[in-house]
Amino acid sequence: MQLNLIELNGLHFVDSRDVAEIIDKRHDHLLRDIKKYIDVISTAPTLGASDFFIPSTYEDRKGEIRPCFLLTKKGCEMVANKMTGEKGTLFTAAYVNQFNQMEQQLQSDYSQLSPHLQQMIRFEQRQNEQDQRLSKLENNWQIDSFQQKVIQKQINKRVYEIRDNYDNSKTGTRRLFAGIHRNFRDAFAVPSYRDLRKLDFEDAISWIKSWRPLF
């Protein structure tokens, strides 16, 4: 049992079709499971679904374009962790063996490079790691004071747009404001709109414009 590794931009992946064949599972069922994994991963701000699964496509025998995923080593580990019994063990052994062989080959090739090239590669790797850390930090930065004012104005605008359809009394208006703030906190998992991530700013504006009270 062997996985075919695909190399893209110096990274290695496994096609979900190969994974489905090895674990004896329908490909569409595996895609369904992977989409569920992605939905869960996407709820965690410190995780990125692309570290596990990359959306891709292939052409079937009829010449039609079909969806698939490219799995990283982490993605293979996630699929394997959801499996039990002999199939799960064999799949785990297959991907671990294949990725380890590729890593050993890369290390062997790397050792044959000149010291100068090795230094350049190490520098580029460190730079990429720093860029990734900075990107994660930027994604988790909170909105600035201007964006906070924009959010507040959009909330005010939405409440006054819809209050005549519910209760335009002072008490009714206060209930609408309390409701939209409460629902906003729940929707974006923040203590206050002031704590919203910059990454979620545009989504928050769209959410406010379509908000309706649940009572």
Instruction: Give the tokens for residue 105.
Output: 């080959």
Which helix (H) or strand (E) covers residue 53, if one does?
Answer: strand 53-59
In whole angstroms, what is the distance from residue 97 CA to residue 86 CA? 16
> Nearest to residue 15, comparing CAs of 77, 93, 70, 76?
70
Position 12 scores a pLDDT of 79
- For residue 99, give every residue at least 6 positions away whose Cβ sits within 8 Å of its Cβ, in sequence order, or none: 5, 12, 73, 76
> Considering just the CA atoms, what is the radius of gyration of the chain in Å?
24
* Residue 55 Cα distances to 66, 77, 104, 172, 178, angstroms: 11, 17, 27, 46, 40
pTM over 0.75? The answer is no
Position 214 scores a pLDDT of 76
Neighbours of 125 (CB within 10 A): 10
**Predicted confidence (pLDDT) at residue 181 exceeds the cutoff of 70:** yes
Burial class (CB in 10 A: 0-12, 13-18, 19+), 73: buried
Half-sphere exposure of residue 101: CA atoms within 13 angstroms, side-chain side: 10
What confidence tier does 185 reach under pLDDT thresholds 50, 70, 90? very high
* pLDDT tens track for 82-126: 766 666 566 666 666 666 666 666 555 555 656 766 566 566 667
In whole angstroms, what is the distance from residue 173 CA to residue 29 CA? 48
Position 161 scores a pLDDT of 92
* Strand partners of residue 69: 55
Which helix (H) or strand (E) covers residue 67, if one does?
Answer: strand 65-71
Position 22 scores a pLDDT of 82
Which helix (H) or strand (E) covers residue 66, if one does?
Answer: strand 65-71
* pLDDT tens track for 117-130: 656 656 666 776 67
